Amino acid sequence: MLLVLGIGLLTVSCTSGPSLTRSIVNQPNKAVGMELTYREGSIEYSHPANLSPEILEKILQHIEVQPSSLLEQLVGASTSNQEAFSEEQREFFANNLSAALNHATPLETVTFYWTTPRGNGIWEITSGGLYLQGNDLHLVLPNYRQTVAAKNPPQAFKNQPLSRLGESLYSLKAIAPARQFTHGFPTELWAQQTPHFVFPLNRLADAQISSGSQHEKPVRPRLNSGESIKQRLQTLHELRQEGFISEEEYQNKRQEILEKL
């Protein structure tokens, strides 16, 4: 049986395969929408749902990433755990995922897509979906920073955010009270290796954000105003390299320092 979806508010586009998607936001390098997916049995989700951007941003902070040993060998990546989503990603996803959950039907998975240029025609793709069942929010990440070669942002993959592109070079872990979901998957589309997390909303409301083994958000180092311009630029560069600040924060602060010359 086909589910007929209203299209008064949202753009509708068909993709290859057994899915129908609706778009909340669709930009060249990022998107959030809903996808009607085939399920095993008669499972339905608790949609539509009203979850604030604040709680969704907190949820995204409960996932950490650690490069695999292979990636460490290839590029000398850091072995320490870091937040899986940047501040820019969390803000974009939280606002738009909140809107998508508010419009999703009980048979739709909310989907998201983000691609980042890495130079030399290489792009990193992060995509997945989330859904609410009872008081638990589930998040699946078929792709986390998967690399794709393309001249422009790879649009073909944006229409199938729940399709797995290949094995990831990163290991993802949940921070309590979030946990790894180890039971059967409710759809036929997700491979057993797909990272899948469950977030108990009643516990997350009061939970602190943790990083590594410490249950508090890491404090960002500040630039010393007594340093020379050259020293401050070097310190700023190191903060960006070590992941303490985003590219946008780096560029804004760099411009601020240079204006004082």
**Residue 250 lies inside a defined structural domain of this protein:** yes
Residue carrying the six token digits 């057994």: 18
Q: What gap in Å lies between CA 63 and CA 51, rounded to an integer?
A: 18
Residue carrying the six token digits 């057993």: 192
Q: Is 185 exposed, middle or buried (0-12, 13-18, 19+ CB in 10 A)?
A: middle
**Residue 209 lies inside a defined structural domain of this protein:** no
pLDDT tens per residue across span 160-218: 898 888 887 888 989 888 888 866 555 555 566 788 999 998 776 544 433 333 333 44
Same-domain status, 64 and 186: yes
Same-domain status, 36 and 127: yes
Domain count, the chain: 2
pLDDT tens per residue across span 148-161: 998 888 888 888 89
**Residue 213 lies inside a defined structural domain of this protein:** no
Same-domain status, 200 and 238: no
- Beta carbons within 10 angstroms of residue 133's beta carbon: 15
The parent domain of residue 78 ranges over: 11-204
Least confident of 59-73, 91-105, 107-121, 144-158: 59-73
Residue carrying the six token digits 């500040």: 222
Same-domain status, 152 and 235: no
Same-domain status, 171 and 254: no
pLDDT tops 60 at residue 224 = no
